[in-house]
Structures are given as C-alpha cells and as structure tokens.
C-alpha cells in the first residue's frame, strides 16, 4: 500500500522455472502473473476475494520437503531442496504462496484439467458468439481458443435453453445460458459496492443469477458487473447490439459528471459515442465507474443541442446567425454597458463543469479584458482557500488508506454526489480505516461508519464537539496516564513548524463545545462523539472530505483549523478534500472564478499575485472584490454573461429581466430556461467534443480528449472568449487549448511546471516511442483482470501540491516554515460555532426541510440518456417513519410543502433513518426545493396532505424506495426494452 | 426534536412470521453471536414456512427484514434447499426416491402407482383435494428398503400397492378427523412449532 | 526465296484453316457464357423458407473482408417486428462493390450462410454512388406465397441454424428436469 508505510514481507517462489519474489499473502495466480506466466481464470478477480469456484486455475503446486523427524529440509544429492508436489491439482486463486513454493502450469495434467473445465463450462453454453455483445472481448472465447478442447462430447440438444435476455436490472440484461456462475457480479456488488442485491438461486444446472431487490439490481454501480463478467451473460442496455467491439474506436476522456474525475473511454463508431468504459487509474477510479458515468452519455448526441449562435430579431424571437455577427453583438453590448456603468456593470457566472482552459479564459476575459471582478461560479463548494492551504496530500489515494487512518465525511452523500469516491471510502473502511460520517441526512455510507447525525442549523456544534473530543483525547491524560502532548504523532512531516501549542489553543477555545454539549441538541449519543474523537486522535492521519452541505453550514473553517493546528494536512491521507457536485468544481476555483480570488486562490488585492498576473494579462482589474453569483443574478449587474450553468432552471421563479439584468448572454449546450431569456445565445461544445483538463476533487489535473465532432457550429468556450477578447484589441491569440494551459501554468503557481505533454502523451513522435509509463501507484499493476478493461495509455495527470507541500518537497525549509506559520495562529481563527436556533426551535407542526443530492436527477445530462431517464424518480419528499405515522403520511401519497421562499408538491416517501422532525427533498428533480427554503441549506416548511396514497402499506411489501430509482419507474421495464 | 430512541422503526411490510413466532425467532437468533444474526436464516425460513404455509415473497422479505439481510440473499438460500416450498403444496408432501439404487429395486416403475394411490396426476403435482403433493427425490438414504417414500417427516419403506392404500387411508382419516395438520417441515428450534404435524408411523 | 514463299503459304494455311473452324468468341452481351458453379459474383443475402432473413447482423463478414467493403449496423429483433430468427438482425447492410475483390471471405465467415456470392457479374454503373449496394438490393426476394420481413412472430417458434447447430429447438428432457426457470422452447424472447 503506497501510503501505509511498511512494505509487505517478500516470499520467493518458482513458477514454471521462473523465480519471483512476491508479497506474503499473494495467491498463486497473481504471483504467476508477476513472474510472467499466465494462469487462466474466470471467477478470480484481483479486486475481489478469491472463492475458487470455476477451477480454471488448477495448477501443480509443490513445497520444499521437510523431514518429519528432524524438521530439516530434505536435500537432494546436489544440496537443492527436494520439492514435494501435492498429489492433486490446486486452485491457484485460493492457494497462497509460501517460501520456496514451486508451481508448474505447463504439465499434461494441468492442460487436461483446463480442457476438462472448459468443456464442462461449455456444456450448456449456447455458443451464440456471433450475436453476443461480448464477442470479441470475451475471456471465455479467448481462453477456450487457447486452452479449450476444441470439441465437446456433450450433445447439443441437451443444452439448457432459457428465454433470451431477462432484465436483471433496468440497465443490465442477463442471458442465463451464457453464465458460468463465477459469482463475480455477486461479489462485486457485495464486496465493492456494498449492495447485496445479486444472488444465486437454485442448485446444480438450474443455478442462476437473480436479483430480488426492489427495484431489481438496486445499485448505482451495476454497470461494473458487465465489465467483471468473464462471459456474455451480463451486458448493458445502452450498448445492446449497437456494434461489434472490434469496430469501436476508443477515445480517452475524463468523466464530466462529478468531481471524482474517473478516467473513461468514449467508444465511438462513425462519430457516435456508443458506450462509455472505465479506463484504469489506480489513484482515481481503479477500474470502476458509476452508472451515471457509464450510461449518461446522451449529451454527446446532437439531439436538442444548440447548433448556431442565436440572437433576437426585431420581433424578439431567437434566430440563428453567424459567429462573427454574434460575437460582434456581444462585444458591442458589453462595451456599451461599460461605457454607461463602468466595468462593474458587467458580470459573469460560470458553471463548475467547464474545463480549466474554459474557466481560465472566462476569468481572464472578464478580469483582464473587461476589467471587472464580478466573476463567480455556481454551485460553489470552494469559496475560500482552505483546500489550497490545507488540502489533502497530493499523493492521497482514498482507496489505499487503511488501518491507522481516519476519514471524516462531512455534509456529503458520497454515493449520490461522487459515487466512485463512495467505492474508495468503502474500500478504505474494509481495509481498517476509521470512517466517520457527519451529516443531517442518512446515507448508505453510514451503514458501516460511525455516524454522527446533526440537526440542521446546528451542524457546527456537532463538528466542534467532534474536534474537541479529538483534541481532548490527544492531549488529555487517559486513565491517569499522561500522554506526551508535545509529541504530536504526525507533526514530523511536512508541517513540523506548526506548533502543537496551536492545537492546545484550539482545544481550549472549544472547551465549551465538548461532546457533552451535544446532548439534547443532536440525535446522537455524546459517547459516540467521544469515541469518534478518539478514533481521530489515534489515527496516523485524518482526511476530511466534505460536500456542499458542509460548505453551506459553514463547517469548512473549523475543519481547516483542526488540520492546521494538528499539522494534519499536505501528506497522504491527511487534510481537506472538497467534493463539488460538478466535474471541475476544484478547477474553476483554482482558475479564480470567485469574486474575491485571482487565479491560484490569491486575494484580488494580493500584491504578489497582481505582480505575477501583470506579466501575463493585458491589464489588471481593481483590487476590490466583485459581486458573487447571488448578487449578480439578483440584478447587481446590467450585463450578465452566463457560461455553462442554468440558474433559471434551478430556480424557475428567477426572472433575470425583472431583477434588472439588461443584457443577458448565455453560452450552453442546450436552450436552457436561462438561455431562453437571453439576448444572445452561443452554442457550446460538450465535454466529449473538445480537449481540455479537469481538476479532480483530489486536485489531480487530468487531460480529456475530443471524442466526437462538434455538434453544428458549436465552438469551444476558450475559443469564443479568445475571439471576444480580440474584439477588445487583446493581442493574445491562443491557437490550441494547450496554449491556454501554458498560460495557466504561468498564472497559477500550483499549476507551474504542468503542461499537456507532462499530463499525458498526446503524440507519439516515433513508432518506437512508448506511451508515458503508468506510474506504479499500487501493487494492482501486477495483476491480470481477465475481464473487459481498458488500459490507461493516455497519462495519469498530476495532482498539484499545496504551498506547504510544495515548499517541503522542494526542501525549502525557510519558505516551508513561512507557509506553515501562515497556517498557524490565524488559520483557526475564522471558524464560528454557531447554532441557528430559529431553525430548530419547536414551532408547532413545521418540519425542517433539507435539500439533498440525488445521483439520477432530472438535469439535462441524465435526461439526455435514454436508459437513465426512466430511473429519474418523480419528485418526492422523504419523511421519517415517526413523522409519517404522526401526520398520517402514506408512501405514495402527495403532499404540498410550503416554505418561506416558495411551495411545491411532491410524492411521499417514508424512509428509515431520516431524523424525526426533518424531511428530505432531492434537488434537481424539477421542483424548486432550494428556493422553497429560501436558498438556504435547510428551512422550516409546512406540510399539507394533498392526496392520501395507497393505504395498505402492510399488504404491499414495498420498502422505502431508494431515491435514485422508484419502483414505479422501473416496473415498466420489459425484456423488449432491454 | 423528539427523542430518537422513542422513534418506532418503519413498519415492516409484513409481520405474520413475527406475530406467530416471536419467541422462536428470539431463540434462533440468540444461538449466534451478536451481529451474526443472519446465521439464523434457515431456522427463520422454516418458521416462515410454518407461518405463511409456504415461502412467499412476503415471507422472504420479512425474514430479510428481521435478520437485516437483503431479500436476494434470503432468496438464494430458499432456492438451494428443496424442503423450502415456494409453490403451493398439499398438506402432506410425499418425497418419493427414484434415484439409481432405488430404481434398481423397481422404484421408478412404481412411481405411477404411487401417484395414482395419492390421486395425484403426476410427480410434482398436487391432488385435487389439496391433501397430497408427490415429488421425486434424489436420495432419501434408505435404498435398502426401496421403494420408499417420506411423508412429511416420516419414512415408509418396502412399499407395495396394499401398503400404499393403507397409508393413504390412514392419512385421509387423520385429515378428515380434523387433526391439526400443520406445515410439513420443521427442524431445530422449530421442532416445537412442528409438534402439530401428523407423525404417521409406519404400520409394520 | 522459295523458303520465304513456303513460310507465307504455311502461315496463310493457318489463317484459312481457322476460317472454317467454329469461332470461340461469343456475341456478348446478346449471348452469355455460363459460369462455373463456384464462380464468385455479386453477393446475395439469403432468406429462410419462411421469408425471414438469414443475416443476424454479426459483422463477421465485415471483419473478414480484406477490402473493408462491408458495413453492418445491427439492431434488435422484436417478436412483433421480426427480420431474422434470434435476437439480432442487420438494420443496415451495405457492400461497396468498387472495393470488393470477390474473394469470398465474407461467405466463408458467415455463421448462418446468409451471404452468398452468386453468378451475376454485370456490375458496371455510371455513378460511383450506385456501386454502394444496400440491403434492399442484396436481399433476395421471397418465395411466392411467403411473407417478407419484418414479420409478426408472436407465439411462433422460428428455429434456425448457426455454426452448424440448430437453435430454438426443444432440448431433450429439460422440461422434466427443471420444473421452474428455463423454458423448453425459446420462442424469441
């Protein structure tokens, strides 16, 4: 484990005469792979626990003989140990190597066993490879060609025939004739995804894979089962009979759906994206992908996309025009606004889905060309420089963490907001990391974590109690024994200069907020908080992973204070990680798309940053912070440039015209509700159509490549902004996104030294050139998956270092101490431990409504996918069983929810684990949830029953449906639809 | 904010098993260490079969809810064992062995007569009066006295037409007498529950 | 001198002799020479007797084609709108006859004997675009009294052969051994 220190003990083995030294505990299959010998496998998968079900890996295994009497090794005449082979063949996947072990894979006995196993596996295989979607990348095909008998003694007419594919889940088709019962899918869902939704039914030849969850195969990771399936039994719904796999052209990319930054490949044919496959990246997504990333590729098609720039004609209708005309109009409108109201009358709001290049070009255009600081992005999870200063170590690999590490997940529904991060967290937890979740709503991660439930409005007091408990456990005497307080367990590197005194100060300041203070406030046991604090104190590293809810609740400064005071940042497995709900939340903040920060998180009045940018930019904006997105949308500017975000769609009540925005320019993929209000609409390119870089939540800058041609006349955002700047006389003419990135490397210190060439091999200069070697990040490189998988040949990106890390890595002690001291006393002064009493004071029948995130939302990216669209649930509100009972709310009924900022109607869902007194409503399902609570993270609402639902709850055994897929939407799936 | 401890859990979708056998469930779960309650799944499935008459979807969901398992896992267990009946069956389930050693003693040729005696159209089916279900079994460990069958939990060996008629008459009499003819199977902690099952001894 | 004359006479002798032989040329295009049974000419996509297309859209012909002349875009059959037996059919099937080298590899690769190089060889055209032979051009007409495609095959078993084996046939003894689960007859879906 890269981050866990001690290297495993090595064991010497001999495989087919080739020596290999592998870690103790390695099984024979993986050891053979390390020695360069292939042992064929079906059921074994290096990411899963071996079960030895398929018997394909049978080999001859021998160990050095030992004299039973003397316990001395038996030696032959030449003094070499005599190898005693086991009388029977051993299953390589379940046999662990031992010192001196010999393995033979090429003997007649092994060959015969392999033939027999393959003949047996094929006894009832339909051999319909010509129509099978797996054909061409099928391990069963390949291994049969290589090791199979070439003929079968079984009579064709005695094969089993099942009805052809059944939808085992809404996205996955199961062909039972092809299944070899390796249980890889079952074990993936069980071990990796923590969804026990697949199982075997029946015995012997009647055995088959079934799912009885409701809805079936109730997992947002179901697509991975098709990758691990070594035969064509499980295939995906979206790729069904689309193409043969050898006809596909795979283009590397980074998934644009969430902030994890999963490496993917767009498999295209004739310029169409037909499927999305994971690309291996041991530091990001291993070999996994969530269903949103895999099936949500509908946006790559032309359907509904903007193809031309649109302007208003004399009647006010939007009509197509040329780029030249549209850009001239934009420049004229902006110049006119500046002439009338000064640069501050212009503002820009961007989405967090832009590439770094686009985001940088946007900020550069508004700041350096127009001259305004009214630049912001939404939704915003990185509003300050906490991550920049106290970010997680650049070599942090969440799924490599284990015993000795603590991970605190704050205000984040990992499965809904960053699904593959959920897999990493789950794996870290299995490996022994202490997992603590702190939130106001339940989530799947809570199952095996120490869950601390906060009441909305007072999250800060619970976090303070946790921090206080941790500091207390670290510095207070335990059971009379005194703990050497000066010796912080981890203060050695790299922030040695941070005084442990800082931690004491912080502990003292939080003295009134200890675990005892949560009693009666939060629905959590004070002892549980103290226990969680002890887990933090005893861990070698504490990683804070937080989401938008934590940011809205103002919890970041306190987490940063803890990280700063204890020196727990800037190393692997320590520090802060912000999880935005969009692909490049980290990158757009790095690029300075915030009103008070320049690129690189420097304040707008930071002299050093201004000096640096003066060399790069044609001019500098004022040193006064600009307006944030909320103020701009509320009419703070006269001309608003909206790039890749849809504020009106999120809040249908928002009327930008009425708010005083006179000129509205919108650049987007679709004619969104915001674009429909615009004066000028510019067609943008989707993530699959252009080159660029994304910065992941662990600050890894990764390249993404164009996979398909742009739709219509859509242009890359940076190109549009370059051409706009040219109309202002800006001389800078970027020719390619790499040029923009080169300027980013000059403007943003953390990106210094990065370039397209360093991030990924874009070109091969000679046929002999190999691609950039994949850094051996974990031992997983030495294993073979024998399943559908894509090697990563296009670079692994690079995570940028925080200043504390960078100075330490550079060995610049003085600078490091300066940075560390900067993170000292003032770093933990900014937090507030406030409780919003108004929110949770008892007030009659009101409930506290908490907007939550949902994976399959009604957003355009999901809606554009034909297979995902049916999984988007109808708008619903989840109540606790307690409140449901008290209010007579019945599953499936309808309620009207009225808050300070609006009202909406939704379906009732009764869900275990919801805090009584609160109700959860997912955002982005077409109802104005966030608006109803006045744009806050929670708010008081009144709930009225509109229609009682099905009364007989006891008779209809429907458990509370997972928000991501209600039964009503999946029940309609028939075999014909798959 | 109400006290979280006072909050009742969500109502389970079905509770026939828990209503009927609360004490037995507790006893079965108590046999295993804390957190390993899923080990009691076989016991609970027998209880559920008793409570529901057969293993229905509701029964599976209730067992899963009680043991905090996923219904799919419970379903897998049900599918593995042939004594868990998912289809409706008669009050008396007759397992008749036709495996090789029994067949060598003529058991397979005798099968149609067994079916006829019980009034069952064929193996795997139930008599019209709902009393008898005949199923073929692969081995009942009594080859030496084949043809043989197992009626609920009782064995009957060395079958002949005359003995069959006598057994059928005895079983019908039992049922007609209104004796509590409960669910056909039960083991372990469930034995107490299965007391009411008619234990027809071989009249030898 | 005499020698030279003799040469001339001998040469003219051959010429005059040939005048009385049966000519080997034929009056093409009025007269056409029969081709060998194994002649590889224009492709045809065959049908089953019941009118369903043999082609299952597997693209193996396209993969085998050394000239990259074949394009197949597959799609899924439905019982109510069935083109071929089984799950899959070719929604698009095109052969670029300008590229085709008539090697017959496609015929060899086909697991259902759908594509056959027949005896038609008059393939000239005035426009390159006409040389893209589409599925409707390649597909043979149905026999008299048999419906074309698509067909509604709900409730009908449509057996076919692939790779030398029969599909959609009732397997032996399966029904008795397995009361639940597998169906004895895979009638489409």
- CATH number of the domain where residue C55 is located: 3.30.70.3270
Beta carbons of A210 and B75 less than 8 Å apart: yes
Distance CA B157, CA B110 (A): 13
Which helix (H) or strand (E) element contains residue A692? strand A692-695
Distance CA A473, CA A527 (A): 13
Among A124, A129, A131, pick the best mutation site for testing chain C contact (most C Cβ within 10 A).
Answer: A131
Write out the residues of chain B at the interface with chain A, using a CB-CB cutoff of 8 A. Answer: 1-2, 4, 7-11, 13-15, 57-58, 60-61, 69-73, 75-76, 78-80
Beta carbons of B71 and A214 less than 8 Å apart: yes
At A613, list the tokens.
Answer: 């940018």
Q: Which of A417, A799, A468, A372 is nearest to A581 (CA)?
A: A417
Which tens digit of pLDDT belongs to each residue from B164-199?
A: 888 888 888 887 776 644 445 544 333 333 333 333
Beta carbons of A130 and C112 less than 8 Å apart: yes
Beta carbons of A917 and B2 less than 8 Å apart: yes
Which helix (H) or strand (E) element contains residue C101? none
Give C139's contacts (C-beta < 8 A, 6+ positions apart): C44, C45, C47, C53
Query: What residue numbers bound the domain in which C89 lies?
Result: 43-142+159-177
> What does DSSP assign to residue A859?
S
Distance CA C3, CA A128 (A): 77
Read off the pLDDT of each residue in A736-765 and give the average, rounded to a whole number.
Answer: 82
- Number of domain units in chain C: 1
At A198, list the tokens.
Answer: 């697949």
Mean pLDDT of all residues belonging to chain A: 85
CA-based nearest distance A131→chain C, Å: 6
Q: How many helices (H) and strands (E) does chain A have?
A: 31, 37
Is the minimum CB–CB distance between C183 and chain A shorter than 8 Å?
yes
Which tens digit of pLDDT belongs to each residue from A702-714?
A: 999 999 999 999 9
Read off the pLDDT of each residue in A368-387 and give the average, rounded to a whole number.
Answer: 90
Beta carbons of A916 and B7 less than 8 Å apart: yes
pLDDT score for A838: 65
Under a CB-based contact definition with an 8 Å cutoff, are residues A798 and A700 in contact? yes
> Between A95 and A959, whose confidence is greater?
A95
Q: Which of A784, A799, A778, A792 is nearest to A400 (CA)?
A: A778
Beta carbons of A164 and C186 less than 8 Å apart: yes
In a domain, C26, yes or no: no
pLDDT score for A802: 85
In sign, the C-alpha dihedral spanning A165, A166, A167, A168 is negative
What ranges do the domains of chain A cover? 10-106, 310-382+585-694+710-754, 386-578, 837-977
Under a CB-based contact definition with an 8 Å cutoff, are residues A295 and A223 in contact? yes
Instruction: Report the residue from B1, B14, B70 with minimal CB separation from A213.
Output: B70
Strands A639-643 and A663-668, by their bridges, are: parallel
The burial class, CB within 10 Å (0-12 / 13-18 / 19+), for C103 is middle
Distance CA B201, CA A235 (A): 54
Q: Above pLDDT 70, what percent of chain A?
A: 88
What's domain A837-977's architecture? Beta Barrel (2.40)
Which tens digit of pLDDT belongs to each residue from A60-79?
A: 999 999 888 888 888 888 88
Beta carbons of A957 and B61 less than 8 Å apart: yes
Which helix (H) or strand (E) element contains residue A922? strand A918-922
Which tens digit of pLDDT belongs to each residue from A113-129?
A: 999 999 989 888 888 89
pLDDT score for A288: 93
pLDDT score for A763: 37
pLDDT score for C117: 96
> Between C14 and A765, whose confidence is greater?
C14
pLDDT higher than threshold 70 for residue A952? no
Sheet holding A172-174, edge to edge: A166-167, A172-174, A234-236
Beta carbons of A203 and B13 less than 8 Å apart: no
Under a CB-based contact definition with an 8 Å cutoff, are residues C150 and C83 in contact? yes
Write out the residues of chain A at the interface with chain C, using a CB-CB cutoff of 8 A. Answer: 126-128, 130-131, 135, 155-165, 176, 202, 205-206, 208, 240-244, 246-247, 975-976
Distance CA A355, CA A701 (A): 10
pLDDT score for B174: 80
Cα torsion for A712, A717, A719, A723, to the nearest 10°? Answer: 100
Which tens digit of pLDDT belongs to each residue from A30-55?
A: 899 888 888 999 999 888 999 999 99
End-to-end CA distance of chain A: 41
Beta carbons of A959 and B69 less than 8 Å apart: no
Read off the pLDDT of each residue in A969-975 and give the average, rounded to a whole number.
Answer: 34
In a domain, C32, yes or no: no
pLDDT score for A786: 66
At B146, list the tokens.
Answer: 């084949």
Give the pLDDT band (50/70/90) at residue A829: low
In a domain, C24, yes or no: no
The CATH code of the domain at B92-184 is: 3.40.30.10
Give the lowest-confidence range in A336-345, A549-558, A804-813, A946-955. Answer: A946-955
Which tens digit of pLDDT belongs to each residue from A467-518?
A: 999 988 876 544 443 334 333 333 333 443 344 677 778 888 888 888 998 8
Which tens digit of pLDDT belongs to each residue from A780-794?
A: 344 566 666 667 777
Is the minimum CB–CB distance between C62 and chain A shorter than 8 Å?
yes
Give the lowest-confidence range in A221-225, A720-724, A828-832. Answer: A828-832
> Between A347 and B12, whose confidence is greater?
A347
Q: Residue A148: beta bridge partners?
A: none
Beta carbons of A160 and C173 less than 8 Å apart: no
pLDDT higher than threshold 80 for residue A735? yes
Distance CA C57, CA A241 (A): 9
Give the lowest-confidence range in A555-559, A585-589, A770-774. Answer: A770-774
pLDDT higher than threshold 60 for residue B204? no
Beta carbons of A212 and B60 less than 8 Å apart: yes
Give the lowest-confidence range in A58-72, B11-25, C97-111. Answer: B11-25
Is the minimum CB–CB distance between A954 and chain B shorter than 8 Å?
yes
Instruction: Report the residue from B4, B75, B79 with minimal CB separation from A916.
Output: B4
> Between C131 and A652, whose confidence is greater?
C131
Distance CA A259, CA A580 (A): 6
For A351, A369, B65, the CA distances from A345, given in Å and listed in that order, are 20, 14, 60
pLDDT higher than threshold 70 for residue A292? yes
Distance CA A561, CA A830 (A): 8
Give the lowest-confidence range in A29-33, A950-954, B31-35. Answer: A950-954
CA angle A884, A885, A888 (to 5 degrees): 75
What's domain B11-80's architecture? Orthogonal Bundle (1.10)
Q: Residue A798: beta bridge partners?
A: A701
pLDDT higher than threshold 60 for residue C57? yes
Read off the pLDDT of each residue in C158-178 and give the average, rounded to a whole number.
Answer: 59
Beta carbons of A162 and C87 less than 8 Å apart: no
Beta carbons of A954 and B13 less than 8 Å apart: yes
pLDDT score for A828: 60
pLDDT higher than threshold 60 for residue A668? yes
What's domain A10-106's architecture? Roll (3.10)
Chain C residues near residue A268 by CB distance under 8 angstroms: none
The burial class, CB within 10 Å (0-12 / 13-18 / 19+), for A62 is middle
Chain A residues near residue C169 by CB distance under 8 angstroms: 157
pLDDT higher than threshold 60 for residue A779? no
Fold of the A310-382+585-694+710-754 domain: Rossmann fold (3.40.50)
Chain C residues near residue A205 by CB distance under 8 angstroms: 177-178
Under a CB-based contact definition with an 8 Å cutoff, are residues A728 and A710 in contact? no
Q: Above pLDDT 90, what percent of chain A?
A: 54
CA-based nearest distance B9→chain A, Å: 7
Beta carbons of A523 and B15 less than 8 Å apart: no
Cis (ω within 30 of 0) for the bond into C150? yes
Q: Which chains touch A (3 or more CB pairs under 8 A)?
A: B, C
For A641, A642, A740, B187, the CA distances from A726, given in Å and listed in that order, are 17, 20, 15, 85
Among B6, B14, B64, B70, pick the best mutation site for testing chain A contact (most A Cβ within 10 A).
Answer: B70
pLDDT score for A843: 60
Beta carbons of C189 and A208 less than 8 Å apart: no
Give the lowest-confidence range in A826-835, A937-946, B151-160, C87-96. Answer: A826-835
pLDDT higher than threshold 80 for residue A139? yes
Q: What is the largest CA-CA distance in chain C?
A: 104
Give the pLDDT band (50/70/90) at residue A761: low
pLDDT score for A481: 39
Under a CB-based contact definition with an 8 Å cutoff, are residues A182 and A121 in contact? no
pLDDT score for A788: 64
Chain A residues near residue C60 by CB distance under 8 angstroms: 130
CA-based nearest distance A130→chain C, Å: 5
Distance CA A533, CA A974 (A): 50
Q: Which of A557, A547, A546, A445 is nearest to A923 (CA)?
A: A547
In a domain, C27, yes or no: no
Distance CA B50, CA A207 (A): 26
> What does DSSP assign to residue A10?
E
| Pairs across A and B, CB distance < 8 A | 84
Mean pLDDT of all residues belonging to chain C: 85
pLDDT score for A784: 61
Q: What DSSP string describes A139-179? A: HHHHHHHHHS-SS--S-GGGS----S-EESSSSEEE-GGG-
The CATH code of the domain at A386-578 is: 3.40.228.10
Distance CA A166, CA A411 (A): 39
| Pairs across A and C, CB distance < 8 A | 91
């Amino acid at each position: 484990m890269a981050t866990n220190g001690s290297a495993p003990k090595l064991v010497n083995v001999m495989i087919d005469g080739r020596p290999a030294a592998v870690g103790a505990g390695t099984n024979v299959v993986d050891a053979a792979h390390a020695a360069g010998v292939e042992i064929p496998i079906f059921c074994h998968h290096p990411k899963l626990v071996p079960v030895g079900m398929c018997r394909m890996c049978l080999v001859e295994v021998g160990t050095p003989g030992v004299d039973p009497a003397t316990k001395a090794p038996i030696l032959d005449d030449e003094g070499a140990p005599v190898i005693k082979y086991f009388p029977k063949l051993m299953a390589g996947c379940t046999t662990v190597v031992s010192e001196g072990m010999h393995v033979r894979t090429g003997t007649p006995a092994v060959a015969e066993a392999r033939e027999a196993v393959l003949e047996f596996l094929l006894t009832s295989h339909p051999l319909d490879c010509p129509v099978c979607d797996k054909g061409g990348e099928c391990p069963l095909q390949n291994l049969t060609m290589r090791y199979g008998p070439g003929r079968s003694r079984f009579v064709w007419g005695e094969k089993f025939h099942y009805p052809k594919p059944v939808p085992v889940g809404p996205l996955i088709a199961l062909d039972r004739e092809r299944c070899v019962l390796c249980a890889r899918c079952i074990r993936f869902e069980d071990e990796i995804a923590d969804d026990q939704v697949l199982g075997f039914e029946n015995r012997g030849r009647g055995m088959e894979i079934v799912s009885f969850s409701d809805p079936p195969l109730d997992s947002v990771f179901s697509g991975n089962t098709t990758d691990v399936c070594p035969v064509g039994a499980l295939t995906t719904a979206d790729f069904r009979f689309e193409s043969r796999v050898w006809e596909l052209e795979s283009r590397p990319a980074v998934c644009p759906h969430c902030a994890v930054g999963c490496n993917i490949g767009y498999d295209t044919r004739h310029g169409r994206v037909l499927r999305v496959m994971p690309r291996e990246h041991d530091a990001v997504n291993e070999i996994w992908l969530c269903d949103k990333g895999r099936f949500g590729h509908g946006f790559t098609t032309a359907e509904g996309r903007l193809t031309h720039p649109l302007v208003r004609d004399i009647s006010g209708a939007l009509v197509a025009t040329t780029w030249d005309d549209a850009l001239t109009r934009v420049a004229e409108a902006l110049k006119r606004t500046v002439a009338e109201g000064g640069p501050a009358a212009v503002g820009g709001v961007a989405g967090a889905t832009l590439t770094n290049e686009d985001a940088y070009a946007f900020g550069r255009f508004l700041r350096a060309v127009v001259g305004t600081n009214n630049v912001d992005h939404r939704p915003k999870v990185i509003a300050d420089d906490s991550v920049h200063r106290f970010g997680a170590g650049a070599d942090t690999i969440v799924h490599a963490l284990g015993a000795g590490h603590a991970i605190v997940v704050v205000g984040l529904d990992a499965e809904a907001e960053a699904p593959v991060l959920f897999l990493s967290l789950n794996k870290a937890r299995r490996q022994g990391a202490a997992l603590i979740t702190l939130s106001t709503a339940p989530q799947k991660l809570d199952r095996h974590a120490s869950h601390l439930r906060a009441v909305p409005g007072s999250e800060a007091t619970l976090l303070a109690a946790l921090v206080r408990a941790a500091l207390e456990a670290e510095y207070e005497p335990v059971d009379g024994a005194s703990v050497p307080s000066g010796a912080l367990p981890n203060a050695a590197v790299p922030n040695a200069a941070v005084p442990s005194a800082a931690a004491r100060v912080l502990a003292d300041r939080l003295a009134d907020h200890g675990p005892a203070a949560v009693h009666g406030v939060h629905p959590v046991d004070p002892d549980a908080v103290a226990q969680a604090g002890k887990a933090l104190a005893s861990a070698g590293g504490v990683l804070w992973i937080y989401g938008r809810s934590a940011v809205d609740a103002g919890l970041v400064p306190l987490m940063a204070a803890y990280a700063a005071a204890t020196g727990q940042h800037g190393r692997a497995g320590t520090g802060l990680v912000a999880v935005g709900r969009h692909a490049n939340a980290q990158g757009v903040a790095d690029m300075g798309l915030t009103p008070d920060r320049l690129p690189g998180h420097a304040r707008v009045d930071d002299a050093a940053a201004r000096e640096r940018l003066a060399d790069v930019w044609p001019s500098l904006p004022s040193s006064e912070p600009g307006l944030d997105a909320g103020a701009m949308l509320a009419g703070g500017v006269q001309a608003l440039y909206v790039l890749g975000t849809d504020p009106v769609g999120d809040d249908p009540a928002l009327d930008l015209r009425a708010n005083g925005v006179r000129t509205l320019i919108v650049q987007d993929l679709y004619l969104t509700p915001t674009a429909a209000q615009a004066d000028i609409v510019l067609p943008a390119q989707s993530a699959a159509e252009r080159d660029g870089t994304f910065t992941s939540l662990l600050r890894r800058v990764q390249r993404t490549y164009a996979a398909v041609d742009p739709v219509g006349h859509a242009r890359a955002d940076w190109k549009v902004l370059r051409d706009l700047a040219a109309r202002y006389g800006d001389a800078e003419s970027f020719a390619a996104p790499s040029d923009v990135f080169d300027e980013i490397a000059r403007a943003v210190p953390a990106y210094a030294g990065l370039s397209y060439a360093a991030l990924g091999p874009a070109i091969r200069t000679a046929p002999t050139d190999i691609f950039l070697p994949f850094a051996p990040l974990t031992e997983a490189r030495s294993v073979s998956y024998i399943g559908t998988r894509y090697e990563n040949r296009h670079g692994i990106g690079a995570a940028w270092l925080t200043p504390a890390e960078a100075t330490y890595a550079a060995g610049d002690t003085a600078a490091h101490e300066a940075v560390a001291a900067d993170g000292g006393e003032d770093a933990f002064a900014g937090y507030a431990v406030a409780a919003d009493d108004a929110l949770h004071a008892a007030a009659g029948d009101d409930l506290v409504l908490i907007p939550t995130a949902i994976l399959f939302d009604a957003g355009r990216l999901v809606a554009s996918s034909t297979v995902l669209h049916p999984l988007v649930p109808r708008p619903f509100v989840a109540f606790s069983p307690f409140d449901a009972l008290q209010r007579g709310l019945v599953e499936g009924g309808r309620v009207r929810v009225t808050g300070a900022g609006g009202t909406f109607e939704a379906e009732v869902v009764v869900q275990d684990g919801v805090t009584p007194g609160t109700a959860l409503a997912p955002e982005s399902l077409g109802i104005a949830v966030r608006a109803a609570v006045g744009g806050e993270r929670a708010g008081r609402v009144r709930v009225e029953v509109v229609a009682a639902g099905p009364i007989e709850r006891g008779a209809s055994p429907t458990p509370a449906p997972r928000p991501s897929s209600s039964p009503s939407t999946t029940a309609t799936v028939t075999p014909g639809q798959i | 904010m109400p006290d979280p401890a006072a909050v009742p859990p969500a109502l389970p979708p079905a509770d026939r098993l828990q209503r009927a056998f609360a004490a037995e469930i507790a006893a079965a779960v108590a046999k295993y260490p804390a957190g390993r309650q899923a080990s009691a799944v076989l016991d609970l499935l027998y209880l559920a079969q008793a409570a529901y008459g057969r293993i229905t979807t509701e029964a599976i969901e209730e067992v899963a809810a009680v043991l905090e398992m996923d219904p799919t896992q419970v379903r897998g267990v049900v599918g593995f064992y042939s004594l868990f009946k998912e289809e409706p069956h008669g009050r008396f389930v007759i397992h008749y062995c036709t495996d090789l050693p029994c067949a060598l003693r003529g058991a397979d040729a005798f099968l149609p007569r067994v079916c006829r005696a019980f009034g069952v159209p064929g193996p795997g089916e139930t008599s019209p009066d709902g009393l008898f279900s005949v199923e073929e079994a692969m081995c009942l460990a009594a080859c030496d006295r084949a043809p043989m069958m197992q009626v609920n939990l009782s064995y009957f060996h060395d079958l002949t037409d005359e003995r069959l008629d006598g057994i059928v008459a005895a079983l019908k009499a039992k049922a007609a007498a209104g004796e509590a003819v409960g669910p056909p199977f039960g083991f372990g902690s469930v034995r107490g529950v299965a007391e009411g099952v008619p234990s027809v001894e071989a009249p030898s | 001198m005499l020698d030279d004359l003799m040469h001339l006479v001998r040469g003219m002798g051959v010429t005059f002799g040939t005048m009385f032989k049966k000519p080997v040329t034929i009056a093409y295009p009025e007269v056409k020479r029969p081709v060998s049974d194994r002649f590889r000419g224009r492709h045809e996509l065959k049908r089953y007797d019941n009118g369903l297309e043999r082609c299952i859209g597997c693209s193996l012909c396209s993969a085998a084609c050394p000239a990259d002349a074949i394009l197949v875009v597959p799609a899924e059959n439905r019982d109510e709108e069935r083109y071929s037996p089984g799950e899959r059919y070719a929604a698009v099937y095109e052969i670029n006859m300008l590229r085709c080298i008539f090697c017959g590899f496609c015929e060899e690769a086909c697991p259902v004997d759908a594509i056959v190089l027949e005896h038609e060889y008059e393939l000239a055209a005035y426009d390159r675009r006409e040389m893209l032979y589409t599925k409707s051009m390649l597909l043979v007409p149905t026999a008299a009294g048999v419906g074309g495609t698509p067909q509604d095959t709900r409730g009908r078993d449509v057996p076919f052969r692939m790779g030398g084996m029969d599909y959609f046939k009732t397997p032996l003894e399966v029904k008795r051994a397995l009361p639940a689960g597998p169906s004895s007859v895979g009638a489409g879906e």
